[in-house]
Amino acid sequence: MQISRSEQKRRVKEIERLMAELVSLSPHILSQALVPEEFRQELLAAAALRGSVRQRQIKYLTKVAQQYPLENLYDLVSRHRGHALAARKQMHTLEFYRDALIDEALEQQERCRQAGSNCEEQWPSQSVSALQAEMPEIDPLVLLRLASLFARTRNPRYSREIFRYLRSVQEMRQRTNSRRSEEE
């Protein structure tokens, strides 16, 4: 799945927000972060800085952080600062998948129109394959049908339905994961 430059910039901005939140945490909390020691020391050093120097350091940390898995860092910030940052990231991820699926459906509709044939509601979709890899619980037929309906009618209702469906699957996964962690 091709990621646009705008989407790449949005993702970097989200990581930058994460780094700003991490830098504002206390050193005791930062010691719990599951990152290499050098990176932890950089975070602690950035916490002592002020003004534009701190902003430059946060941008540097953003660049370095892209090579590490960020889920643990989002969890750490969520535990100590609230869930707003992680929820925002999840919403943007779902919006990205919805938009990619809709774009793919519109391209498929255009190919069918040029070929002079009727478009079916099922086609080999890279977006759905990527979504299934991340969320195996999804029903690909539901997503393909909604995307096809949007491409055919351009009714924004179907776009919202795709987003709602993805969000419901994600919330179900989170509830399941929280139950598992409570049982352990």
Q: How confident is the model at residue 2 (pLDDT cuts 50, 70, 90)?
A: confident
Q: What does the chain come to in residues?
A: 184
What was the pLDDT predicted at 145?
Answer: 93
Average pLDDT, the chain: 88
Q: How confident is the model at residue 68 (pLDDT cuts 50, 70, 90)?
A: confident
Q: Which amino acid is at 107?
A: E
For residue 119, pLDDT beyond 80: no
What was the pLDDT predicted at 162?
Answer: 95
What is the signed CA dihedral for 54, 57, 61, 62, rounded to 10 degrees?
80
- pLDDT per residue as tens digits for the range 87-102: 888 898 899 999 999 9
155: which residues sit within 8 A by CB, 6+ positions away?
A: 149
- pLDDT per residue as tens digits for the range 6-42: 888 998 999 999 999 989 888 888 888 888 889 888 9
